[in-house]
Amino acid sequence: MAQQDTDQQHAGVLPVDDEGFVIDTGETEEREAAWRERGTSRPITVVGNPVLHKECKDVTDFGDELQQLVADMFASQRTAEGVGLAANQIGVDLKVFVYDCGDDEGVRHVGVVCNPKLVDLPAERRRLDDSNEGCLSVPTAYAPLARPDYAEVTGQDEKGNPIRVRGTGYFARCLQHETDHLYGYLYIDRLSKRERKDALRQMAENEPRYPVVAND
């Protein structure tokens, strides 16, 4: 009975703040665990797999199959020790990502976004941060990549309700990175040819610490 109550409480819509953005910082441990414990961890697809290099299909069915996918994504994210995971990173051609990510103030954010779109911000709000970036689909490789240190994403939650998510610092990078995935872009696609080559060299020289899908 208690477990059922937890599932019902955490499978719905997140509350929103006065500006209409989701409050994804409450009960993060409980919400992440409720998803993850219902899921099965899947291996991660890596650069070169066709599903990573094309735009994914829109989510149109918000039924049980999607709920199980989201649970599997949270389980897979935890296994790989990631902070965000897009559906195509476990081989599923759908526009959905999950996140469990801290911001630069150390605040933890947990949530689900379907059919995400990055909001185009005015120039005065685009302060670039050139911190290192990595990706579960390019295991063991890191490279500096300039991205805005603030991001807003619109989309739908796991039940199909419209949502707005915003983040700063590291969490802003996560929102941009995961949205990119669902439109067929890896972070290394935004690097120079030399930097991309170096990232792929790092990947080739090291072993991933989590299960991956080998490319043919």
Q: Give the strands of the sheet with 108-118, arranged side by side.
A: 84-86, 96-102, 108-118, 150-156, 162-168
Q: How far from 73 is each of 77, 85, 193, CA to CA, in Å?
A: 6, 7, 31
Is 178 one of the catalytic residues? yes
Residue (of 96, 101, 118, 115) closest to 170 by Cα position: 101
Burial (Cβ within 10 Å: 0-12, 13-18, ≥19) of residue 189: exposed
- Produce one character per residue of 100-139: b if its CB has 16 or more CB atoms within 10 Å, e if not: bbebeeeebbbbbbbbbebeeeeeeeeeebeeebbbbbbb
The catalytic residue among 32, 133, 152, 178 is 178
In sequence order, the β-bridge partners of residue 104 are none
Instruction: List active site positions.
Output: 178
